[in-house]
Structure 1
């Protein structure tokens, strides 16, 4: 497979795989703005030259938008291979490219979010374990931090205390989200509108910088929905799913 590295120089022309192809769509444009702002922080976005969901996105853990202590590691935001790209070894190729690049940059290893029980938009723990990753920490909601050290002597990454026990003080529905996931540009306004029309207590908190993300009350910051203080899901909801969840 031929791969393309998305950079500041080509991001306007390149398809970013995980949203629809129209660059004028708010989902695509919002994600590209987020990516462009991260390149100077060491973010790498490597994708298939063929259009589709086949890419890896990673960044030095010090600049990752999640609450972890993992200095010296490389954090994988997303490793996504799906559809017709599955079953050809592309996940392994992308992961190997990340490992090679990270070693060249003298990182201690890799870390990534997964889960004890499969959850949407999180990497498959079975695949990660097959590739040598181990669980190094786990939050109360089953979200796991997995790591692949390049040296057995390096310190293990861990969640910050704020993320280990996901909880918020607000009543009603509270959503934490970032622009890292392109789908949020479409589905967060849908939830805000649906909640308002149905008198459902709802508040959306847009995380707009890494400092806030690194102190968030959830290990998953791209999309984390709470109800009466308790964590519910990291799956983007449309209006029908949200209303069903609320019993309306």
Structure 2
């Protein structure tokens, strides 16, 4: 069955009419979808690929040469996978493998492929069990749970997290700091939800949208798409609704 499902590669000509999978049913993210498409269009010349299954669902892979990755890693002449996502109802159809094979074909002349994962399964991070089956191994770690995984094609130096990715600290006068990019169409609207929720705790909020690769590569966390810091300390990389944020804050305040 999986062989009958078409794979579509987005480009400058078709991106306006094609959906980008992530936010199909999320009306709140219409602005974010537009910003995400603009972000993609700005990366195509750098070699970014966004390939999706021709279905009404989240089945896609997004990757880019690692020197252009919006991630604080050192991985010369590797390919970096930004995101590999197969929604639940499409699992077991071989689509994840097919999408990964597209990346492998494009990276065949490079040193290998790298991707961000985690010790235990976490939202928005690649599934470690799947990657291990596909020949990836852990090549570096960063607190509190991030893992960099690699599939090498050549005997080349292993990719590493940059030193700044180990910090998980941010300077600022605000109680809450949010760093985010337009790599994900959800970030724009959900940052606003967290801002609203923060008012109920009388928290000051500082938000910063990362607008360049250089900024992203110097972030204090491996996951640059979105991260929240409370009193300067990293608390989550998950893109939070108001309710989820409030649960985290309630737990933090109880602990303190």
**Short-chain TM bin:** over 0.9
Match of 1:181 among 158, 179, 184: 184
- What secondary structure is seen at the aligned counterpart in 1 of 2:107? helix
Note the residue ranges of structure 2 that are not aligned, 5 or more in a row.
Answer: none
User: What is the CA–CA distance in structure 2 between the aligned matches of 1:205 and 1:45, rounded to whole Å?
Assistant: 25
Partner of 2:131: 128
**Do the aligned residues in 2 keep the contact of 1:139 with 1:166 (CA within 8 Å)?**
no
The yes-or-no answer on 1:217 pairing with 2:216 is no
Measure how far apart 1:21 and its partner are: 5.8
Partner of 1:16: 20
TM-score after normalising by structure 2: 0.91
1:1-248 map, 5 Å: 1-20=5-24, 25-103=30-108, 106-151=109-154, 153-170=155-172, 172-196=175-199, 198-247=201-250
Note the residue ranges of structure 1 that are not aligned, 5 or more in a row.
Answer: none
- CA separation of 1:22/1:220 partners in 2, compared to 1, >3 Å: closer, same or farther? closer
User: What is the CA–CA distance in structure 2 between the aligned matches of 1:6 and 1:129, rounded to whole Å?
Assistant: 28
User: What is the CA–CA distance in structure 2 between the aligned matches of 1:70 and 1:207, rounded to whole Å?
Assistant: 21
User: How many pairs does the alignment contain?
Assistant: 245
**Do the aligned residues in 2 keep the contact of 1:67 with 1:159 (CA within 8 Å)?**
yes
Measure how far apart 1:197 and its partner are: 5.3
* Structure 1 residues 14-39: Cα deviation after superposition (integer angstroms, max 9, x where no partner): 01111126899112111111111111
Computed over aligned residues only, the root mean square deviation of the Cα atoms, in angstroms, reads: 1.7
User: What is the CA–CA distance in structure 1 between the aligned matches of 2:70 and 2:84, rounded to whole Å?
Assistant: 16
- What secondary structure is seen at the aligned counterpart in 2 of 1:121? coil
Measure how far apart 1:165 and its partner are: 2.9
TM-score after normalising by structure 1: 0.94
**Do the aligned residues in 1 keep the contact of 2:118 with 2:128 (CA within 8 Å)?**
yes
